Amino acid sequence: MNEITKNVQTAKCENGSCKNERNESKVEIILLIISAVLFVLSVVLQILKISPILVMIPALLCVLLSGYEVIIDGIKSAIKLSLDETTLMTVAVIAAVILGEFVEAAAVTLLFSLGELLEDKAVDKSKDRIKALVDIRPDTATVIVDKLKTKTVPAKKVEIGTLIEIAPHTVIPIDCVVIKGKSFVDTSAITGESLPLECEKGTFLQSGMLNGDSTLYAKTTKTHENSTASKIVELVENSEKNKAESEKLITRFAKIYTPVVMLFALVIAVVPPLIFGDFVLWINRALVCLVSACPCAIVISVPLAYFAGIGSQSKNGILIKGGKFLEILANAKAFVFDKTGTLTENKIVISDIKAFGNYNEDDIIKLASSVEEKSTHPVAIAIKELAREKKIEPLTFENYKEIPSKGVSAVYGTSEIRCFADNNEIKLTIDNKTAGIIKTSDQIRKEAKSVLTNLKKLGIEKIVMLTGDKKDNAEEVAKTLKIDDYSYSLLPQDKLRKVQELKKDFSPLCFVGDGINDAPVMAESDCAIAMGLGSEAAIETADIILSNGDLSPLPKAIKLCRKTMKTVKTNLILALTLKAVVIILAVLGIAPMWLAVLADTGMCVLCVINSTRLIKA
């Protein structure tokens, strides 16, 4: 069984593991709720100045219930000399307990464990991503066996060169080439483009595309495992696996701070006594240094700043799945945008009408909307909407016909009127003579231009557009939005390659998209941003979601992320500066233990107040 199949089975919960994970998650949540109640109880008892023992009991229970796993991890990390934020948190808790600051120890473990749970929830989304992608890859194919008799078989058993039947409104199971039939095929799941592909004999089709109203007969060109839809699933899986796990600032800080502080205290306890004597005096000073360096203020205020920043973003329609993505967005150097559904509305509009002979634009709209009256093609819908906007009433035609892969025709009086596609244009003919040409295009989002302008003002070094659409459409959007760097006619693997190349020079890199075809490149980017109205696969793969399906909050989100990171760094600088002063005084024998405790508690309160300001940002 290959890795993809394993992940798919995991996503479908066939082995029952999902149920176990849900149960474990429920236990964690229940323990955190009980811990929170115990913490509140200890705070109330402390305020009421009840017996210290009664304050200590619920506080220590809170520490054990909410922080036992983290403390165990911290001890293991210390033993392995692989110090991280769990070690830093463990040191903070032990120091707080030794000093009798039981409520503070409870606050540290409760907040830290809550943050870890939220991060784990974001990581668990990877299984949902695979599950969402499985829908574009059919498990069966209809094979032609003898004299057009058909048989449904598992798609993975179909060999190259097999004849298959693709019924109307079904997903193409395997990459193939059409040998008979004409139809319009929806390619949006693969290319992201809304305009259907007109296919006939010789047209190459990719698995994951959706057939239109007519039956197609085709010969497979790849196996199911090597077909496009399977490759998209594989690309997402590999990108997730290879995606660099950018460490949170607190993790990077802990790797340096924890060993430095512990080593410094050890040096103070051992080296001076060897020179000056009096081991008891210097061990006491070493303990004061260790208490002064207690990272409670840092461990509490830094996660709190992240939570406050993320909470404030949600009020603006920006859902961020973890603190590290907030940090990436704040430091982003490049933004890559998909076109259709992201920079455009994913809606076909009429961009230009040319009339010939004795006809004017309104005549062309009237005739075109009349002949397209019964068509459900996206272009037909756009023409009919324009006619309604202009209050142009359609004529009554006869003998409506839809010509697969070509267009539509109808009869008015003694004349045959036809609308058919010719490259990116729709030609209207009357008795085979061209009466008008209708040009279509994607409707650019009204906020797109101002958003890109503001991104440049914020110092974003590179803005790129990647699209599966044709050259003409891509050029038009790029020109309107003043995007200098863009690529077109790209498949998912092409977009992935482009982003990998860009990341070499511009990192962190953010990708903004909305389609299933964007899922691999989203997984590869440092930070993936999805339009809230996009596909399920894109939303699940994303690290940040624009819940209103609107680009306009993006510049403000970057500003707020930068403000959050500034707050985090300010807290660190304030805390470290005060601690450094107290430690120096402790080494000189000027700072007693009570001053170290006061400095740590006071700085903790100050940093918390500074962090909570972000909630109102």
Q: pLDDT tens for residues 355-398?
A: 998 899 999 999 999 998 888 777 888 899 999 999 998 888 88
Mean pLDDT of the chain: 80
Does residue 238 form part of some domain? Answer: no
Q: Which of 233, 70, 43 is nearest to 137 (CA)?
A: 233
Same-domain pairing of 577 and 546: no
What is the chain's alpha carbon radius of gyration, rounded to the nearest angstrom? 32
Whole-model pTM: value is 0.65
Q: Of the residues 73, 338, 514, 526, which is catalytic?
A: 338
Length of the chain counted residue by residue: 617
Choose the final residue of a domain: 559, 580, 608: 559
Same-domain pairing of 608 and 477: no
Q: What CATH number did the domain enclosing 200 receive?
A: 2.70.150.10
Give the pLDDT of residue 594. Answer: 62
* Residue type present at position 593: M
pLDDT band at 452 (very low <50, low <70, confident <90, very high): very high
CA distance 162 to 147: 14
pLDDT tens for 6-55 read 333 333 344 444 455 556 667 878 888 898 899 999 988 888 887 888 88
How many Cβ atoms are within 10 Å of 52's Cβ, its own excluded?
12
From the centroid of its chain, how far is CA 326?
12
Same-domain pairing of 167 and 264: no
CA angle 214, 131, 328 (to 5 degrees): 115
Give the pLDDT of residue 318. Answer: 82
CA distance 454 to 551: 11
Pairing type for strands 462-466 and 334-338 reads parallel
Does residue 129 form part of some domain? Answer: no
Task: Judge whether residue 420 has pLDDT over 90.
Answer: no
Does residue 463 form part of some domain? Answer: yes
221: containing domain: 138-226
Q: What CATH number did the domain enclosing 389 receive?
A: 3.40.1110.10
pLDDT tens for 204-242 read 998 888 898 889 999 999 998 888 777 766 655 554 544
Same-domain pairing of 267 and 386: no
Same-domain pairing of 339 and 463: yes
Same-domain pairing of 58 and 8: yes
Q: What CATH number did the domain enclosing 477 receive?
A: 3.40.50.1000
Does residue 231 form part of some domain? Answer: no
Higher pLDDT, 182 or 442: 182
**What is the number of alpha carbons within 13 Å of residue 103 lying toward its C-beta?**
15
The backbone torsions φ and ψ at residue 345, rounded to the nearest 5 degrees and listed phi first, read -85, 0
pLDDT tens for 341-360 read 889 887 778 888 999 988 99
Does residue 243 form part of some domain? Answer: no
Our answer to whether residue 338 is catalytic in this structure is yes
Choose the final residue of a domain: 443, 471, 497: 443
* 290-304, 397-411, 582-596, range with greatest mean pLDDT: 397-411
Higher pLDDT, 63 or 594: 63
Does residue 349 form part of some domain? Answer: yes
Same-domain pairing of 297 and 423: no
Same-domain pairing of 164 and 36: no
Give the pLDDT of residue 22. Answer: 57
CA distance 226 to 592: 71
| CA torsion, ordered 577, 579, 580, 583, to nearest 10 deg | 160
For 148-157, 296-305, 457-466, 467-476, which range has the lowest pLDDT when averaged over its residues?
A: 296-305
pLDDT band at 456 (very low <50, low <70, confident <90, very high): very high
Choose the final residue of a domain: 516, 534, 559: 559
* 67-71, 151-155, 321-325, 515-519, range with greatest mean pLDDT: 151-155
My answer on whether omega of the bond before 508 falls inside 30° of 0, hence cis, is: yes
Same-domain pairing of 335 and 450: yes
Task: Judge whether residue 123 has pLDDT over 50.
Answer: no
User: How many domains, in total, are found in the chain?
Assistant: 5
Same-domain pairing of 465 and 397: no
Give the pLDDT of residue 109. Answer: 82
Does residue 242 form part of some domain? Answer: no
Does residue 408 form part of some domain? Answer: yes
| CA torsion, ordered 55, 57, 60, 66, to nearest 10 deg | -100
Same-domain pairing of 34 and 116: yes
Same-domain pairing of 532 and 549: yes
